Amino acid sequence: MNERTCAACDCELDENAIQVRIGGQAVEVCCDDCAVKLKEAHASAMNAKRG
């Protein structure tokens, strides 16, 4: 069985999963809040790299 989990919080995904693009990759999250958190974390990491 292939279990899918949220990329942000590891909750199990159902048919209502949301697909977002982070760094050119498509990932699935369980809700809008997790989508926002993941995008913010990615933006923060990119800003830290640019220094």
Residue 22, judged by CB atoms within 10 A of its CB (0-12, 13-18, 19+), counts as middle
Q: For 4-51, how does the pLDDT look when each residue is reduced to its tens digit (9 = 90+)?
A: 999 999 999 999 999 999 999 999 999 999 999 999 999 999 999 886
Bridge partners of residue 28, in order along the sequence = 19
pLDDT of residue 37: 97
pLDDT of residue 1: 59
CA distance 28 to 13: 8
CA distance 7 to 4: 9
pLDDT of residue 50: 81
pTM, 2 dp: 0.84
